[in-house]
């Protein structure tokens, strides 16, 4: 069982470039989440999806878009990358409200 | 919006000493979860507390949820080098899908 799989693990972009971070889970979870983690700031929610076909903004959605492609996959897109988006990005999934979240290994993204 | 504060931000202890991290929410929570993140790793779920005043133990780890369901603590007895990492609390409001994570307490152990 792979759990939550994120690709890529590392990425370096130039300012203004676009890219999509991929996330897939094999636990048949309804809910999926994207977080960013910056030093000293914990985990901040970017977007989440409570079920297939629905997405909602989290705490820091500006500059990002998401797609819940199906129950397994939830992607995060940066349309025009900015240095302020340099961070570690984590995808997570859970069975729903009140259930624990399972995290992927993260994507370390640097924007120059 | 909901805020979850966690103190201290850093804690350095001698191996064998105890460690405690505290978590405070600006709102009453339906439940609180605790996660551990090893250096370079991803957060891993430890436990969930749901009831007012609840206390749960996992070996040397003791988790408490306050009577008002607005604060929580994690206490580690006799720390070991395997306890190194950052401990996060995460609060959830009633009927809300989202977790709000605290800023974490980074524990380092001096052998």
Could you read off the pLDDT of B21-76 as tens digits, one per residue?
A: 999 999 999 999 999 999 999 999 999 999 999 999 999 999 999 999 999 999 99
Which of A96, A100, A106 has its CB closest to that of B33?
A100
pLDDT, tens digit (0-9, with 9 covering 90-100), for B86-109: 999 999 988 787 899 999 999 999
Name the DSSP letter for residue A38: -
CA torsion sign, B83 to A37 to A32 to A77? negative
Strand pairing class (B105-110; B10-14): parallel
Confidence band, pLDDT 50/70/90 cuts, at residue A69: confident
Confidence band, pLDDT 50/70/90 cuts, at residue A97: confident
List CB contacts (< 8 A) between A105 and chain B: 41-42
CB neighbour list of residue A39: distance below 8 Å, 6 or more residues apart: none
Q: Is the pLDDT reported for residue A96 higher than 90?
A: no
Q: Is the pLDDT reported for residue A106 higher than 70?
A: yes
Residues pairing with A18 in the sheet: none
pLDDT, tens digit (0-9, with 9 covering 90-100), for B8-19: 999 999 999 999
Residue A98 is predicted with a pLDDT of 82
List CB contacts (< 8 A) between A54 and chain B: none
From chain A residues 79-108, the ones with a CB under 8 A of any chain B CB are 90, 92, 96-98, 100-106
pLDDT, tens digit (0-9, with 9 covering 90-100), for A6-62: 999 999 999 999 999 999 999 999 999 999 999 877 899 999 999 998 999 999 999
Residue A1 is predicted with a pLDDT of 62
How many helices, marked H, and strands, marked E, lie in chain A?
0, 11
């Amino acid at each position: 069982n792979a759990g939550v799989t994120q690709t890529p693990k590392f990425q370096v972009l130039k300012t203004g470039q676009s890219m999509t971070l991929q996330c897939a889970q094999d636990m048949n979870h309804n809910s999926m989440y994207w977080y960013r983690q910056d030093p000293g700031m914990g985990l901040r929610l970017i977007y989440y999806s409570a079920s297939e076909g629905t997405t909602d903004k989290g705490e820091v959605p500006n500059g990002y878009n998401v797609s819940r492609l199906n129950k397994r996959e939830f992607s995060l897109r940066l349309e025009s990358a900015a240095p302020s988006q340099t961070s570690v990005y984590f995808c997570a999934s859970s069975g729903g409200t009140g259930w624990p979240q399972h995290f992927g290994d993260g994507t370390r993204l640097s924007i120059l | 919006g909901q805020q979850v504060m966690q103190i201290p931000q850093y804690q350095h202890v001698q191996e064998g000493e105890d460690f405690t991290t505290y978590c405070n929410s600006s709102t009453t929570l339906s439940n609180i979860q605790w996660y551990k993140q090893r250096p370079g790793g991803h957060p891993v779920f430890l436990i969930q507390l749901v009831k007012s005043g609840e206390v749960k133990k996992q070996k040397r780890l003791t988790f408490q949820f306050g009577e008002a369901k607005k604060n929580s603590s994690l206490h580690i007895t006799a720390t070991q080098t395997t306890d190194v990492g950052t401990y996060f609390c995460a609060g959830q409001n009633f009927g809300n899908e989202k977790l709000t994570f605290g800023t974490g307490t980074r524990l380092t152990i001096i052998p």
